[in-house]
Amino acid sequence: MTLESLDIPASVANREHTAVAAELMALAHQRIDAYLNSSEPTIHNFVPCDFELVDQTLGWLTQNHLLTGPNFCELGSGFGVTTLLASLHGMNAVGIEREPTLVTQANTLAGHLFPDSPFYCGSFIPRGIDDILELASEVEHVSTEEDDIYEEIGIASEEFDLFFAFPWPGEAHFFESVFQSIASNGACLLTYEGREGMKLVRKLDS
């Protein structure tokens, strides 16, 4: 199996946000700032990504029909903003997050705009991935604990058409390896990689 890189045009950054998406992102920024500046203990590994660029990229993806279907899964969903943005773009979106505090924050954010909260607390790594221990040695900021979370969601990992992740520097390979193990042929992985921007790959069975 191979990963095909798909170019994301620079013009994506010129796309306008819908009013609902802009409202969601503004509220998310407020809640994240309040969380990071609170006196309560925060999650060390939590760093928000560029939600505006993510929203623009999701709009480009769906408008150009680049996906095999509507199922979306965020791997490490944090405050859940990307998952909710995917919902706004018509996707059947869920987010998986292992930190209960962040799942609570995501549920609270979703409650303002969405009737059903699509967030699940657990590990996005299903049981039975080959070489998971070797992969785990490559990362410091990701839990490699295996879980049955996809059974709780009711959608097998092979049924998701688009995965999203925000890897720490040097850890993108881990997410690509997990993606190759759990996704079906034709599925895509979208990652936000900081200064490098957005990266999109498609899984192709050789």
Q: What is the mean pLDDT of residues 182-203?
A: 95
Q: Model confidence over 116-139: pLDDT tens digits?
A: 779 999 989 887 776 665 655 566
Instruction: Name the residue with higher pLDDT: 144 or 154.
Output: 154
pLDDT at 84 (0 to 100): 96
Interacting residues of 37 by C-beta distance below 8 A, sequence separation 6+: none
pLDDT at 135 (0 to 100): 59
Q: Model confidence over 65-80: pLDDT tens digits?
A: 999 999 999 999 999 9
Distance, CA of 77 to CA of 81 (rounded, Å): 8
How would residue 148 be classed by pLDDT, with cut points 50, 70 and 90? Answer: confident
Tokens of 33: 């700032």
Share of the chain above pLDDT 70, in %: 88
Give the 3-state secondary structure of residue 191.
strand
Q: Model confidence over 88-101: pLDDT tens digits?
A: 999 999 999 999 99
Q: Tell me the pTM.
A: 0.92
Q: Model confidence over 9-27: pLDDT tens digits?
A: 999 999 999 999 999 999 9
Q: Model confidence over 178-191: pLDDT tens digits?
A: 899 899 999 999 99
Count CA atoms within 13 Å of residue 174 on its CB side: 23
Q: Domains, the chain, ranges and CATH? A: 2-204 (3.40.50.150)
Distance, CA of 5 to CA of 101 (rounded, Å): 34
